[in-house]
Structure 1
Amino acid sequence: MSAWGDTGAPRVFTMPPQADFLDALARHVLAEFGGDDPEALADVTILTPTRRAGRALMDAFARAAGPDRGALILPLIRPIGDVDADEPPFEPGELAGIAPPAVEPARRQFELARLILAKEAALGRRIGIAGAMALAEPLAVLIDDLWTEETGDLAAFGDALRARLPGHLQESLDFLSIVNRAWPQRLAELQLTDAAQRRSALLHALADRWRETPPEGPVIAAGSTGSIPAAAELMAVVARLPQGAVVLPGLDRGMDDKAWEKIDSAHPQWALKDFLERLDLDRADIGDWPGAEAETPALARQRVIAEALRPAEETADWLKRIDALKEWSGDFFASGFSGLSLVEARNPDAEARAIALMLRETLSRDDETAMVVTPDRGLARRISSELRRFGVQLDDSAGTALTATLPGGFLRLVLDVASDPGSALALNALWASPLFSLGRARGPLKRELDLLDLALRGARPGNDFDAIRKRLADPENRNVRDHDRARLTALAGQIETALTPLLTERTRPAADWARALAEAAEALAASDRQAGADRLWAGEGGEAAATLLREFITEAEVLPDLTLAEFAAAFGELAGSRRVRPQGDLHPRLRLFGPLEARLLTADRVILAGLNEGVWPAGLGSDPWLSRGMREEAGLPPQERRFGLAAHDFAQLAGAKEAILTRSLKADGAPTVASRWIWRLQTLARGALGEEGAKQALSPALDYTGLAEALDHAASAAPVGEPYARPPVAARPKRLSVTDVRKWIRDPYAIHARHVLKLVARDDADLDIGPRERGSALHAALEAFIEAYPEGDLPEDAAERLLALGDAALEKAGFDEAARVEERVRFARSVEIFLEWEAGRRRQGIRPGPLEIKGEWDVPGTPLTVSGIADRIDFNPDGTFDIIDYKTGAPPTKAATAANYEPQLPLEAAMAAAGAFPGLDPSETSGLIYLRLSGGRSAGGEARIDGPPSRGKPPVSAMDYAAQYEDLLRQLIETYADPEMAYRSQPRAQYVDEYGDYDRLARRKEWADAATDGEGGEA
Structure 2
Amino acid sequence: MSADHLFSHPSPRVFTLPPAAPFLTELARGLQQAFPDPDALSRVTVLIPTRRAGRELAEAFTRLSPGAALLPMIRPIGDVDADEPPFEPGELADIAPEAVSPARRRFELASLILQKEQAVGRSMGAGGALALADDLARLLDDLATEDVDDLGALTQEIRANLPAHMQEAALFLDIVLEAWPARLKEMQRVDPARRRSLLLKALAARWRDNPPADPVIAAGSTGSIPAAAELLSAVASLPQGCVVLPGFARDMDEDAWAAIDDGHPQRAMKTLIELIGLDRDQVRFWPGAEEGRQDAPRARVIAEALRPAEATADWLRRVEDLKEAWGEDVFEVALDGLSVIDAPAPAEEARAIALMLRETLETPGARGILVTPDRNLSRRVITEMARFGVTVDDSAGQPLSDTPSGAFLIRVLQAALDPGSALAFSALATSPLFALGEERAPLRAVLGAMERRALRGRRPGYSWMALAGHVRDAAGDDEDRRDRWGGIIDTLAQALSPLSALEGAHTMRAWTKALVESAEALARTDEMAGADRLWATDAGENAALLMREFMEEAEALPPLSLHDFARAVLETARARLVRPRYGAHPRLQILGPLEARLAEADKVILAGLNEGVWPAAPKSDPFLSRGMRMAAGLSAPEERFGLAAHDFAQLACARDVTLTRSAKLDGAPTVASRWLWRLKTLARGALGEASEKAMAPQHDYLALADALDATTAHTFIKPPEPAPPVEARPRQLSVTQIETWVRDPYSIFARKILRLDKLDPLDRPPGPPERGTAYHAALETWVRSLGDADTLPRDALERLLKDGESALIQAGFSDNALGVEMKRFERVAQYMIVFEEERRDYGFLPTALEALGDITFEAPGGLFTLTARADRIDLRPSGALDIIDYKTGQPPSAKEVAAGFAPQLPLEAAMAARGAFEDAPSHEPGDLIYVRLSGGRVPGEPKSMVRNPDGDDAGILAEQALERLVKWVANFDDPRRTYPSQPRVKFVNKWGDYDHLARRKEWASAPGDENGEGGAS
TM-score (norm 2): 0.96
How do residues 747-766 of structure 1 correspond to structure 2 at under 5 angstroms?
747-766=744-763
Select which of 299, 304, 307 maps to 2:304.
307
Select which of 354, 357, 360 maps to 2:358.
360
Q: Does 1:780 align with 2:777?
A: yes
CA displacement 1:940-974 (0-9 Å, x = unmatched): 1322222439xxxx976221111110111012012
Shift of 1:505: 4.4
1:1017 and 1:790 map into 2 onto residues whose CA distance is: 58
- In structure 2, the CA distance between the partners of 1:663 and 1:847, relative to structure 1 (3 Å rule), is same
Shift of 1:342: 0.6
CA displacement 1:388-432 (0-9 Å, x = unmatched): 111111120221111121111111222222222333222222211
Shift of 1:209: 1.0
Shift of 1:160: 4.2
What is the RMSD computed on CA atoms of the aligned residues? 2.0
Q: Is the 8 A contact 2:469 2:486 kept in 1?
A: no
2:919 and 2:939 map into 1 onto residues whose CA distance is: 34
How do residues 926-937 of structure 1 correspond to structure 2 at under 5 angstroms?
926-937=926-937
Shift of 1:848: 1.9
Alignment partner, residue 152 of structure 1: 149
Q: Is the 8 A contact 2:42 2:72 kept in 1?
A: yes
Shift of 1:480: 10
Shift of 1:921: 4.1
SS of the residue aligned with 1:868?
strand
Q: Does 1:471 align with 2:473?
A: no
CA displacement 1:758-815 (0-9 Å, x = unmatched): 1112212222211111111111112222333322133211111121111111111111
Alignment partner, residue 461 of structure 1: 460
Q: Is the 8 A contact 2:47 2:218 kept in 1?
A: yes
- In structure 2, the CA distance between the partners of 1:815 and 1:585, relative to structure 1 (3 Å rule), is closer
Q: Does 1:548 align with 2:550?
A: no
Alignment partner, residue 75 of structure 1: 72
Q: Is the 8 A contact 2:7 2:240 kept in 1?
A: no
Select which of 113, 131, 152 maps to 2:128.
131
One-letter amino acid of the counterpart of residue 854, structure 2: E
CA displacement 1:651-683 (0-9 Å, x = unmatched): 110011111111111111111111100001011
Alignment partner, residue 59 of structure 1: 59
How do residues 927-1006 of structure 1 correspond to structure 2 at under 5 angstroms?
927-948=927-948, 957-1006=953-1002
Q: Is the 8 A contact 1:723 1:1016 kept in 2?
A: no
Alignment partner, residue 662 of structure 1: 660
Between 528-537 and 497-506, report the one with greater CA deviation: 497-506
CA displacement 1:821-864 (0-9 Å, x = unmatched): 11111111111111222222223333222221211210245621
1:25 and 1:697 map into 2 onto residues whose CA distance is: 32
Shift of 1:479: 9.9
Gapped runs of 5+ residues in structure 1? none
Q: Is the 8 A contact 2:400 2:542 kept in 1?
A: yes
Gapped runs of 5+ residues in structure 2? none
Select which of 548, 555, 558 maps to 2:556.
558
One-letter amino acid of the counterpart of residue 457, structure 1: R
- In structure 2, the CA distance between the partners of 1:41 and 1:479, relative to structure 1 (3 Å rule), is farther
How do residues 719-738 of structure 1 correspond to structure 2 at under 5 angstroms?
719-738=716-735
Select which of 993, 1007, 1010 maps to 1:1011.
1007
Between 524-533 and 495-504, report the one with greater CA deviation: 495-504
How do residues 805-816 of structure 1 correspond to structure 2 at under 5 angstroms?
805-816=803-814
One-letter amino acid of the counterpart of residue 959, structure 1: G
Report how many residues are paired.
1006
2:339 and 2:114 map into 1 onto residues whose CA distance is: 51
One-letter amino acid of the counterpart of residue 236, structure 1: S
Alignment partner, residue 246 of structure 1: 243
Alignment partner, residue 233 of structure 1: 230
Between 793-802 and 193-202, report the one with greater CA deviation: 793-802
Select which of 270, 275, 278 maps to 1:273.
270
SS of the residue aligned with 2:886?
strand
CA displacement 1:104-124 (0-9 Å, x = unmatched): 112212222222222222222
- In structure 2, the CA distance between the partners of 1:785 and 1:651, relative to structure 1 (3 Å rule), is same
2:894 and 2:477 map into 1 onto residues whose CA distance is: 40
1:321 and 1:491 map into 2 onto residues whose CA distance is: 77
Select which of 7, 18, 25 maps to 1:23.
25
2:292 and 2:14 map into 1 onto residues whose CA distance is: 20
1:143 and 1:557 map into 2 onto residues whose CA distance is: 21
Shift of 1:382: 1.0
Alignment partner, residue 569 of structure 1: 567
CA displacement 1:245-288 (0-9 Å, x = unmatched): 11100001121011101111211001110111011111211111
SS of the residue aligned with 2:379?
helix
Q: Is the 8 A contact 1:876 1:882 kept in 2?
A: yes
1:709 and 1:173 map into 2 onto residues whose CA distance is: 52
Q: Does 1:582 align with 2:580?
A: yes
Select which of 103, 107, 114 maps to 2:104.
107
One-letter amino acid of the counterpart of residue 10, structure 1: P
Q: Is the 8 A contact 1:211 1:237 kept in 2?
A: yes
Q: Is the 8 A contact 2:438 2:526 kept in 1?
A: yes
How do residues 790-805 of structure 1 correspond to structure 2 at under 5 angstroms?
790-792=787-789, 793-805=791-803
Shift of 1:73: 2.7
Alignment partner, residue 512 of structure 2: 514
Alignment partner, residue 900 of structure 2: 900
SS of the residue aligned with 1:794?
coil
One-letter amino acid of the counterpart of residue 450, structure 2: L
Q: Is the 8 A contact 1:298 1:655 kept in 2?
A: no
How do residues 167-246 of structure 1 correspond to structure 2 at under 5 angstroms?
167-246=164-243
1:155 and 1:534 map into 2 onto residues whose CA distance is: 53
- In structure 2, the CA distance between the partners of 1:834 and 1:160, relative to structure 1 (3 Å rule), is closer
2:478 and 2:151 map into 1 onto residues whose CA distance is: 68
How do residues 372-383 of structure 1 correspond to structure 2 at under 5 angstroms?
372-383=370-381
2:27 and 2:427 map into 1 onto residues whose CA distance is: 52
- In structure 2, the CA distance between the partners of 1:464 and 1:298, relative to structure 1 (3 Å rule), is farther
Q: Is the 8 A contact 1:146 1:153 kept in 2?
A: no
How do residues 322-361 of structure 1 correspond to structure 2 at under 5 angstroms?
322-330=319-327, 331-361=329-359
One-letter amino acid of the counterpart of residue 875, structure 1: L
2:832 and 2:802 map into 1 onto residues whose CA distance is: 15
Shift of 1:478: 9.4
Between 841-850 and 324-333, report the one with greater CA deviation: 841-850
Alignment partner, residue 400 of structure 1: 398
2:875 and 2:475 map into 1 onto residues whose CA distance is: 34
Alignment partner, residue 853 of structure 2: 855
Shift of 1:538: 1.3
Q: Does 1:683 align with 2:685?
A: no
Between 56-65 and 843-852, report the one with greater CA deviation: 843-852
TM-score (norm 1): 0.96
2:417 and 2:391 map into 1 onto residues whose CA distance is: 37
Q: Is the 8 A contact 2:41 2:72 kept in 1?
A: yes
One-letter amino acid of the counterpart of residue 1000, structure 1: H
CA displacement 1:856-891 (0-9 Å, x = unmatched): 210245621111111122222222322221221222
SS of the residue aligned with 1:227?
coil
Alignment partner, residue 494 of structure 2: 497
CA displacement 1:31-74 (0-9 Å, x = unmatched): 22232xx433221111000000111111111122223xxx4332
Q: Does 1:45 align with 2:45?
A: yes
Between 171-180 and 270-279, report the one with greater CA deviation: 171-180
SS of the residue aligned with 1:39?
helix
Q: Is the 8 A contact 2:928 2:954 kept in 1?
A: yes
SS of the residue aligned with 1:761?
coil
Shift of 1:623: 1.0
Q: Is the 8 A contact 1:117 1:132 kept in 2?
A: yes
One-letter amino acid of the counterpart of residue 44, structure 2: V
Q: Is the 8 A contact 1:451 1:480 kept in 2?
A: no
Q: Is the 8 A contact 1:113 1:129 kept in 2?
A: yes
Between 295-304 and 605-614, report the one with greater CA deviation: 295-304
One-letter amino acid of the counterpart of residue 18, structure 1: A
Alignment partner, residue 81 of structure 2: 84
SS of the residue aligned with 2:250?
coil
Select which of 760, 767, 780 maps to 1:770.
767
Alignment partner, residue 599 of structure 1: 597
